[in-house]
Amino acid sequence: MTGRRADGYHELESVFLPLDPEGPLADDVKLALRTRPGVEFSLRGATAGVPADRRNLAVRAAEAFLARVQPLIGVAITLEKRVPAGAGLGGGSSDAGAVLRGLNAYHFGAISRTDLEALALGLGADVPFFIDPEPALVRGIGELREPLANPPSLPLIVAHPGPPLATADVFRAFATSGAALTPPGKLARLLPLPPVPGAHRAELWAERVINDLEPTATALCPAIAPLLARLRRVGARAVGMSGSGPAVYGVFDDETQRDQAFARLRLAPPVRAWATSTMV
């Protein structure tokens, strides 16, 4: 965190790395236009804690788009959830971004990229990123993005301790914690990462991993700390918390070492883990 605005939003400086869209942590969003107005919504998969009605961000995105472009046309959305709710992994925001992107394609680019991002920002601070998710240095409240040069493709284990953690609760606790803010530009000065392979890539990433929200989130969800320690014990070169948590990740030298570590994790429910990688 680099500051807080008068409207209560926190200014941030963060690296956003999308996960493999073919991996286990990728929701599946299907759209079908209808002749009658309104949004029909079907939810499947990892539905715990996910709204199945108009509160769902995917539905809100469709309603906002159709109200702007074609209120007499409707859409049926089928959402297969794989990203757990309240994890700090951007699952809901990515669903909303996919809906906006898909509907705009259906309507032959009826909304310009600038206006589409403004529509996305009205849904959530990180939704604009998912209009076209590419590795980026993100500033502001999430609306200012700068593509990363030489983005790393990092083999990861992503793990979730079980209970969800509301983003608003984490930011509220952080605001009252008295935690020091990170000086603006500190992260930017550490980037971009040199295009080096294997262990050197992971070691360089380890030097740059920091999440100002991690102590606050850990106070709210103490299971975060032992899960990070577990990832280190099985060989992660770097560990950290994703977003506002409580999902965490471990970075490995290569896919082989990641898969071997994943086999050694032996986590007991409600803890879950996935072997994946970042997208370049």
What are 162's two structure tokens?
């079980």
pLDDT, tens digit, for every residue of 249-276?
999 988 999 999 999 999 999 999 999 9
pLDDT tens digit string along 215-236? 999 999 999 999 999 999 999 9
Angle formed by the axes of helices 57-69 and 113-121, nearest 10°: 140
- Please check the confidence at residue 70 and state whether its pLDDT lies above 90: no
Confidence of residue 200 (pLDDT cuts 50, 70, 90): low
pLDDT at position 186 is 60
Instruction: Please give the full DSSP string across 200-269, using - where no structure is assigned.
Output: HHHHHHHHH---TTHHHHHHH-TTHHHHHHHHHHTT-SEEEE-TTSS-EEEE-SSHHHHHHHHHHH-PPT
Q: Each residue of 116-155: pLDDT tens digit?
A: 999 999 999 899 999 999 988 888 877 788 888 777 788 9
Q: Is residue 220 within 8 Å of 165, Cβ to Cβ? A: yes
Query: What is residue 194's predicted lDDT score, i.e. its pLDDT?
Result: 61
Mean confidence (pLDDT) of the chain? 88
Phi-psi region of 182 (alpha: psi -120 to 50; beta: other; left: phi over 0): beta
Q: Which residues have CB under 8 Å from 144's CB, separation 6+? A: 138
Asked whether 127 and 85 are in contact (CB, 8 A), the reply is no
CB-side exposure of 190: number of CA atoms within 13 Å?
15
Between residues 156 and 187, the one the model is more confident about: 156
Q: Give me the pLDDT at residue 94, please.
A: 97
Distance CA 190, CA 193 (A): 8
Counting other chains too, the contacts that 194-198 makes at CB distance below 8 Å and 24 or more residues apart are 194/150, 195/150, 198/253, 198/254
The yes-or-no verdict on residue 243 having pLDDT over 80 is: yes
The strand pairing partners of 236, in sequence order, are none
The pLDDT value recorded for residue 1 is: 44
Question: Can you give the pLDDT at residue 201?
Answer: 64
CB contact at 8 A, 121 and 128: yes
**pLDDT tier for residue 11 given thresholds of 50, 70 and 90:** confident
pLDDT for 80 beyond 50: yes
| Percentage of the chain modeled with pLDDT above 70 | 86
65, 119 Cβ separation under 8 angstroms: yes
Q: What is the pLDDT of residue 253?
A: 87
- Comparison of pLDDT for 202 and 89, the residue scoring more: 89
- Terminal-residue alpha carbon distance, the chain: 25
